[in-house]
Amino acid sequence: MATAETAEQMETRKPVNDVLVTGGRTFSEVNEDVARPLENFPTGRWWVCFIAAMAAFFMGAVLLLKTFKDGVGVWGLNQPIGWGNDVTTFVFWVGIGHAGTLISAILFLFRQKWRTGINRSAEAMTIFAVMTAGMVILTHTGRTWLAAFWLLPYPNQRQLWPNFRSPLEWDVFAVSTYFTISLIFWYMGLVPDIASIRDRAKNKIRKFALTILSLGWRGSNRHWVHYEQAYLIFAGLSTPLVLSVHSVVSFDFAVSQLPGWHTTIFPPYFVAGAIFSGFAMVVTLLVLAREAFGLKHYITMDHLEKMNKIIMTTGMLVGYAYGVEFFIAWYSGSAFEQFTFINRAFGPYWWSYWIMVSCNVLIPQLFWVKRFRRSIPVMFVVSLYVNIGMYFERFVIIVTSLHRDFLPSSWATYVPSWVELGMFTGWIGFFFIWFLLFVRFLPAIAMGEVKSVMDQPSKGASHA
Amino acid sequence: MHNEKKEPVLSGVVGFFDEPDSLIEATAKVRDSTFKHFDCFTPYAVHGLEHAQGLPRSKVPYVTGIFAFTGTATAFAWQYAASKVWWPHIIGGKPMNSLPAFVPIIFELSVLFGGIATFFAMLAFNRLPNLRKRAFDPAITNNRFAILIENPNAGKDEEEGQEAFHPDQAEQFLKSLGAKDVRKVFEEGWFS
Amino acid sequence: MESTEKKSSEVKFETPRLWMSPEELTPAYWADEEKQTRNAQEFYDKPIETLEKIEALDRAGLSRRDFLTVMGASMAMASFACARRPVNKIIPYVVQPQELTPGNPLYFASTCRECANSCGLLVKTREGRPIKLEGNDEHPVNRGKLCARGQASLLNLYDPDRLKGPLKGTKGGDKGSANWADVDSLVTAALKEAKRVRIVSLPESGDSTRRAIREFMAAFADARWIEVDPLGQDELADGQQESYGTRVAPEYAFDRAEMVVSFGADFLGTWGDHVRNAQKWSKTRKLSAAKDSLSKLVVFESNLSITGASADERFAVLPGTEVAAALAVAHEMIVTQKKGRFAGNADVTSALSGSFEEWISKAGSLDQAEVKKIANELWEARGKSVILGAGSPGLHAVVNLLNSNLENDGKTIDGNANALPYSASNRALAGLQAELESGQIDVLVIDRANPVYFLPSGEAFASAMKKAKFVVAISDRMDETARFADVVLPVNHALESWGDARPDAGTFSLQQPAIAPLFDTRSFQDVLIGWTRGGVRSSGLLAQVAQNPKGSFYDYLKENWKQSLYPAHGKGRGFNEFWESTLQTGVLEVKAGPSRERPFRTASLKLAKDAVQKISSLSLGKTKKGPSLEATGIALGLYFKPSMGDGRSANNAWLQEMPDPISTITWDNHLNIAPAYAAELGLESNDVVIVKNDQFTAEVPVKVQPGIAKGAATLALGYGRTAAGKVGTAVGINGFRFARFDGEAGFRLDGITVSIKSTGKKYQLAETQGHHRIMGRPVLNEITYDAFKKNPNASMETEPAVKMETVPTLWDSPVDYSKSPHRWMLAVDLNSCTGCGACVVACQAENNTPVVGRDRVRQSREMHWMRIDRYYSGDENSPTVVFQPMMCQHCENAPCETVCPVVATSHSEDGLNQMTYSRCVGTRYCQNNCPYKTRRFNFFDHWKDYKDTMNMVWNPDVTVRSRGIMEKCTFCVQRINDAKSKAKDAKASLKDGDVRTACQQTCPTDAIIFGNVNDKDSAIRKWMENPRAFRSLEILNTRPAVHYLTKVRNAEASEEGKEHGHG
């Protein structure tokens, strides 16, 4: 009680002229705003979303069991086309999982203060996306129950080891490392904020849980010194990591010899694509979140506009990559390469190629116009298109390269089965379950960091 | 909660500030005063405060470096042994020790080891998790800045040499620095 | 007592140092005499007894082999409680004692009865069950080779749809199960009253069987035996009859022919003695540094057959007009150029009256100059050429004229020395049908023949059968014909029964069972014996054997051989020795004398005139294009597939799933129409059309098929079974229903016209090949003979052929393969490969490759480890065809190995790309990364589809793969290891030819060779040094172990020859 009172007394209104947090919020108001969704019973909208996500996930789970029971034959895959919607989905989610760490790490190193409003939820998104991707790639194998541990190099009596030359094995390490580091990074960032909501928690159980989670954080400056140092190092580690992960994922294709996969441009091309899709997903989610939880003051239009600029830039980067692929195919003089790319654009799967181009390259061009960059509906729709486009980018790369390769005799086509599509929906549900639980139980805004970039109360201003 | 404790140990005297800059000024003064044992408490990392408080640079990076390198070495040794010594196979006409193919995992493991080490080093240096010392004021994680002049004898037994510590002087001193709500705080655990 | 003992002990007893029981320590023990003697014998009296027994046996003349035989047989019986007849006379083929240990195979020599050609078999049995059929190297017909159907006939043995016991009931009505006693009594009762008895059976060439049937028929006032064979050669035999006076199926010496001209005869695939033909013909197609002579094959045909695909020059003619083409050639040679003995012969000239152009035009649009050229080339190669045909007797008359004019008869064509009278006659069925309708027939016995299915007037025949007093069907299943019998007797599979065959005059082939009958079945011959025993007054040997209550056809066979063959060919050996040695080799070969030329009867040419009349009716009617298409007067050509034949094994999943060599379509037959013509009619592949003639109407899916004449359509036979079994029933359309059948013409597949109507419906055919052109990719080399003579490794498809030595490699190989004792490699000679598909089925049988079914083939999930890619080049309507057998290439730098995360696939030091099934987790990355797409993924647990008896077909040496794992060609690694361990036992090193892969073993044209290239003088080494050797997609530097030998076409390079890119 005493606490609350002091908080009341200490409340001071000051004229503010800041950009990063609008509406002249004070420190304590930050806590109020961020903690509100956590301390009240979830809204109807939240429940609708959550139940929908659960339903989708349940359907996916049932179909996954069917796959386990009958074999991956229930999917549309066939002889030349060993990968289809399954690996497409994997790359899709891994890609989305890149924005978070990028925002929290690279923008941190570049001292981009505006990141503070969005990095927490972006990181959460990263972690859940990578979780989803991991599940997808694990269950795409013919014998998941074995893949689950044979892919790990655990010491065993028979001295069997994985093949460290295989890009898939690199994936195992890249994705799991990325997940672990992102998770720790995210949790570390959470500790002071958990402490904040802990100190306002009324409910005993909640307070207990939060106390444990906060590791007993007291805001001591001795701690802050180590904490800040560690945070900086994490940013330093994550930056090359985030770049490496999608490079490794791109190796899954670049290291093979298949025309359309065997391409040196893939690592940067994939990373750009990942940032592209990641930011698109962040925009999609934050536009919803700031509406739902009244976080307009923290996730400001400026933030969104900056992200839209990045979306447009990376969109043009991938567009450039699309072009270069064609140029190199022609320049290489390899009949196989040339055929593959012509077949991409004008073969049986031409539609997927042009969906990709229009969603990823053309539509983001809207953001040249400031009005569109700052319009919530426009950016929401565009971000959705980008998500779709990036799914099809992976589909194009994987399927169109596989379905017509070296020997014309073995050409075939691939149509995803309803089971695959159902599972795809299921994975989306899986992702949103986690995300919704996150916004419900943990501070979606990095309060500590926001406060540090807010306009600081100063002597002169106090008691004015 | 407070009164359950029989003989509360005085952990020190705290004074509160509302603005980070006044905190920094005050902290510098405390640093130069006779009170050698003190700490600041802030809702977020106030930049410049560590200098005012005269704290040394964190040692965390060294730990990170050591473990990251361990990761590098482990990753290479492991892959080399597995592919050449323990379970050699002719794979795609490549040599048993296909070094270029080992690079990605070497990198990943370095980052993994380094990252995990960093986190635990941070906790270790901060003696976290710590459930014996509770935050003495909720406002600290919200919107207030505090200086705690610590009782050097807190947690010491009578046998050990007791340093001289006069809470009242400390209170006076803090008040003189413009601190508000100066008061004594007693040691408390989170669940005691 | 005591005292005496004491005394004695004092005197001579001393405690033994070693003792087994306390009593030995007492002197009393040693005093007991009989105890002592018993002890003395205790450990060796029993052995002595046995030894004596064995000696006794040996004295009785029971050789070690018999002893082994009995053991082998007892194993077989142990495996099958249902063994009814002791199979104790089976002689394992050259077998060493230690091979009788379980886990080691036993080989039995037998004879294939899948068709009338009677190839020699080696039946590989494991623990008493046949698991693989291989050709008998010592058999003159097939010399160790088998066709696809021969390979697959093994699966028929284990067909769960076989009858498990006799049935009795009403004609066309329900039938209840019965036991042999009462069906036999029923039949014999009917036979005792019977006057008129008719027996319809598939051709029986075996002397013993023929004799038995004759002796059986002796019991009746009026008995006739009709042999029918849809695959048979009625017209050929009739033509021979007319031209030369004897109704024979001649033997063709393709191996001595420099030029072969076939007028519609698919002699490499389905026509006549195709395995022997292909084998002989291929000998003239081998090219090496040593031998560079190449025969020439010219084919006039309506449907694109594998013979046409292998032809150097091919002409697409309208179905039934082959005769016109033949006449054109004859006219050019004899009338125009006045060459040969018949030049100026009045009858011949009049028979050939009419202009060359007229003939040509009748045959469709043929290149006149080309045909003229062929006439000249034939004349150049006179005496060293073979001309043959399939179609009307008239065509054969012309063909015979040509052969006689070119003096081939007696040189390359043997019509008297080794040729046997041709006994089968489908035409006779017309007479029978008439007899049946008149209701005079008392008993009709139908042995395995299925006239109700294959007769165009099948239903009519069925209703006629109802008029017979009593009908006995002897069949392995309740098929179309058996349904109209009073009693159905289940018949053995060939591998369960004794028998003999006489494929040609000099070859006596024995058929011995390799397993006791699985079900309560009997062989036809044993059935006859049973009836005789039941009171039918058969004569001669049959009666004798029947008297002995235990007498079976085995006794009959043995006795018959003793009487007929032993005296002449016993070579002074005891009969048993002669018998056993013949059983071992499976065949008795008797040198036939030299063949003599036969006088040609010019009168036979009148048949040609009739034939020409028939085809003059062929004229393309008017067509309405588009959705309401109606085209009339389309010439329909009916043809046999190498896989399905006449459909007698339609229930065989291996055959149903074997891709058609040309269309690569499985599980269906389809109406082939040429691209240009299809475009004219506005049809596409998978369009369903109504095909109609006066006899039959059916909905058939269309396949746009290059190489068919405009105005023609072709349809495969052997489909549309209505009572084949779970697998084969209602697959495709019964093309026989369109065929012509009447008393005088007999049973004819040519000269049929149909009308086509579009339905607007679609039906997706299960095609295994995605695209049909090489698109200028370095996949394979094909050059012309001229080019070859200039530069042996010149290439038409890949300019220049990339030699991998020129390709740099990043890393040195971790192992020096040339150092290791073995390095396995395989080579395929594209020049002799006819694409017949025998290797595909052989591989399936050997390696437990599952069958996946039509729908999964549609999804392109077929599991064949070995596929035959078929590429067209040149003009769409008269394409040149290349076959490329494609299996795992066992690349040195295998892309699949690198990408497997769990080392489930890796390389062995002798150059094998190994697949570790149990380690595979099914990422499918290896498949994606395989440039040759030869890896197969188990999308489901396919093995679960192999129901009850079918499980016996699994090869125990090869893992049956579960779902979720990758598989592929292993170079038959089980055979390699087997040979290695055999060599190890023999303390010898592997010799070249010790290891033969399943595909190599069965390839009728020896197009596949496998071996150890580190062995300097191995065959594979020689092939690889052949200037034609190349590797597929060499530019990728995957360094495949599989080499190919360039296809050389004996034709001058024309623009059509060149690749036209995307087709």
Quick check: C931 contacting A, CB < 8 Å?
yes
Beta sheet of C824-829, edge-to-edge order: C1008-1012, C824-829, C1042-1045, C1029-1030
Residue B108 has pLDDT above 90, yes or no: yes
Closest listed residue to residue C401, CA positions, set C311, C490, C353, C334: C334
Residue A13 has pLDDT above 50, yes or no: no
Neighbours of C48 (CB within 10 A): 10
Residue C374 has pLDDT above 80, yes or no: yes
CA-CA distance, C869 to C850, in Å (whole number)?
20
Q: Residue B79: which pLDDT band, with cuts at 50, 70 and 90? A: very high
A166-185 average pLDDT score: 93
The pair of three-digit structure tokens given for residue B40, joined into one six-digit string: 């600041």
Quick check: B25 contacting A, CB < 8 Å?
no
pLDDT, one tens digit per residue, over C948-1000 is: 888 888 999 999 999 999 999 999 999 999 999 888 888 888 888 889 999 99
Q: Do B87 and A160 touch (CB under 8 A)?
A: yes
pLDDT, one tens digit per residue, over C555-607 is: 899 899 989 888 888 878 888 888 888 888 888 888 878 888 888 888 888 88
Q: Residue C848: which pLDDT band, with cuts at 50, 70 and 90? A: very high
Residue C871 has what pLDDT? 92
Residue A1 has pLDDT above 60, yes or no: no
The pair of three-digit structure tokens given for residue C687, joined into one six-digit string: 């369009």
Residue A448 has what pLDDT? 81
Residue C634 has pLDDT above 50, yes or no: yes
Q: Considering only residues 974 to 1033 of chain C, which have any Cβ-Cβ distance to chain A shorter than 8 Å? A: 1033
CA-CA distance, C759 to C948, in Å (whole number)?
41
Q: Do A166 and C925 touch (CB under 8 A)?
A: yes
Residue A10 has what pLDDT? 39
φ, ψ (nearest 5 deg) of residue C193:
-75, -25
pLDDT, one tens digit per residue, over C132-190 is: 999 998 898 988 999 999 999 999 999 989 998 999 888 777 888 888 888 998 899 88
DSSP per-residue codes, C481-503: TGGGSSEEEEB--GGGS-EEE-S
Closest listed residue to residue C585, CA positions, set C151, C994, C136: C136
The pair of three-digit structure tokens given for residue A309, joined into one six-digit string: 């600029």
CA-CA distance, C248 to B179, in Å (whole number)?
125
Residue C5 has what pLDDT? 46
Residue C86 has what pLDDT? 43
CA-CA distance, A170 to A160, in Å (whole number)?
17
Q: Residue C91: which pLDDT band, with cuts at 50, 70 and 90? A: low
Q: Residue C393: which pLDDT band, with cuts at 50, 70 and 90? A: confident
φ, ψ (nearest 5 deg) of residue C200:
-115, 125
Residue A428 has pLDDT above 80, yes or no: yes
Neighbours of C344 (CB within 10 A): 11
Q: Considering only residues 118 to 157 of chain B, which have any Cβ-Cβ distance to chain A shorter than 8 Å? A: 118-119, 121-123, 125-126, 128-131, 133-144
Residue C55 has what pLDDT? 57
DSSP per-residue codes, C331-387: IIIIIIS--STTTT-HHHHHHT-S-HHHHHHHT-S--HHHHHHHHHHHHHTTTSEEE
C634-646 average pLDDT score: 90
Residue C1 has pLDDT above 50, yes or no: no
Q: Do C777 and A406 touch (CB under 8 A)?
A: yes
Degrees, nearest 5: CA angle C178-C181-C184: 95
pLDDT, one tens digit per residue, over C193-212 is: 888 899 999 999 889 999 99
Q: Do C920 and A143 touch (CB under 8 A)?
A: yes
Q: How far is B3 from chain A (nearest CA, A)?
A: 15
User: Which of C820, C892, C897, C899 to mutate: most B Cβ within 10 Å?
Assistant: C897
How much is the mean pLDDT over chain A? Answer: 86
Q: Residue C618: which pLDDT band, with cuts at 50, 70 and 90? A: low
C801 against A166, higher pLDDT: A166
Span of A309-313, A343-347, C400-404, C414-418 with lowest mean pLDDT: C414-418
Residue C370 has what pLDDT? 85
Q: Residue C64: which pLDDT band, with cuts at 50, 70 and 90? A: low
**Sequence-separated (6 or more) residues with CB below 8 Å from residue C174:** none
Q: Residue A17: which pLDDT band, with cuts at 50, 70 and 90? A: very low
How big is the B-C interface in CB pairs under 8 Å? 40
CA-CA distance, C366 to C974, in Å (whole number)?
51
Residue C351 has pLDDT above 60, yes or no: yes
Residue C913 has what pLDDT? 93
C287-304 average pLDDT score: 86
* Buried b / exposed e along C840-861 (16+ C-beta atoms within 10 A): bbbbbbbbbbbbbbbebbbbbb
pLDDT, one tens digit per residue, over C912-927 is: 999 999 999 999 999 9
C527 against C788, higher pLDDT: C527
* pTM of the predicted protein model: 0.86
Q: Residue C703: which pLDDT band, with cuts at 50, 70 and 90? A: very high
pLDDT, one tens digit per residue, over B16-58 is: 888 888 888 888 888 888 888 888 888 888 888 888 888 888 8
Residue C44 has what pLDDT? 47
How much is the mean pLDDT over chain C? Answer: 84
Element (H, E) at C465: helix C458-467
Q: How far is B96 from chain C (nearest CA, A)?
A: 7
Residue C1003 has what pLDDT? 93
Q: Which of C860, C895, C965 sits opposite A143 (nearest CB)?
A: C965
Q: Residue C11: which pLDDT band, with cuts at 50, 70 and 90? A: low
Element (H, E) at C37: helix C33-42
Strands C129-135 and C697-704: unpaired
Strands C196-201 and C443-447: parallel
Contact status, residue A245 vs residue B63, Cβ threshold 8 Å: no
Residue C59 has what pLDDT? 56
Q: Which long-range contacts (CB under 8 A, 24 or more apart) does C41-48 make?
A: none
C540 against B72, higher pLDDT: B72
Q: How far is A397 from chain C (nearest CA, A)?
A: 13
Q: Residue C1020: which pLDDT band, with cuts at 50, 70 and 90? A: very high
Q: Do C859 and A162 touch (CB under 8 A)?
A: no
CA-CA distance, A237 to C18, in Å (whole number)?
82
Residue A44 has what pLDDT? 84
C400-428 average pLDDT score: 88
Contacts of A417 in chain C (CB under 8 A): none
pLDDT over 90 for what percent of chain C? 34
B135 against A129, higher pLDDT: A129
Residue C46 has what pLDDT? 46
User: Which of B86, B89, B90, B99 to mutate: most C Cβ within 10 Å?
Assistant: B90
CA-CA distance, C260 to C385, in Å (whole number)?
6
CA-CA distance, C429 to C460, in Å (whole number)?
12
Residue C876 has what pLDDT? 81
Residue C671 has pLDDT above 90, yes or no: yes
Amino acid code (one letter) for C425:
S
Span of A252-256, C71-75, C310-314 with lowest mean pLDDT: C71-75
pLDDT over 90 for what percent of chain B? 25
Strands C443-447 and C470-475: parallel
Q: Do A181 and B19 touch (CB under 8 A)?
A: no
Residue A179 has what pLDDT? 93
Beta sheet of C487-490, edge-to-edge order: C175-177, C167-169, C487-490, C470-475, C443-447, C196-201, C222-227
pLDDT, one tens digit per residue, over A95-138 is: 998 888 888 888 888 877 878 888 888 899 999 999 999 999 99
**Exposure of C758 in the CB half-sphere (CA atoms within 13 A):** 18
CA-CA distance, C136 to C142, in Å (whole number)?
7
pLDDT, one tens digit per residue, over C728-782 is: 888 999 999 998 887 677 778 877 888 888 888 899 999 998 888 888 788 888 8
**Sequence-separated (6 or more) residues with CB below 8 Å from residue C735:** C638, C669, C715, C716, C717, C718, C719, C720
Closest listed residue to residue C737, CA positions, set C692, C701, C703: C692
pLDDT over 70 for what percent of chain C? 87
Degrees, nearest 5: CA angle C27-C31-C35: 115
CA distances (Å), origin C162, targets A155, C517, C649: 53, 12, 12
Instruction: Kindly list the partner chains of chain A, i.e. chains with 3 or more CB atom pairs below 8 Å.
Output: B, C
Residue A136 has what pLDDT? 93
Residue C883 has pLDDT above 60, yes or no: yes
Residue C4 has pLDDT above 60, yes or no: no
How much is the mean pLDDT over chain B? Answer: 85
A1-11 average pLDDT score: 39
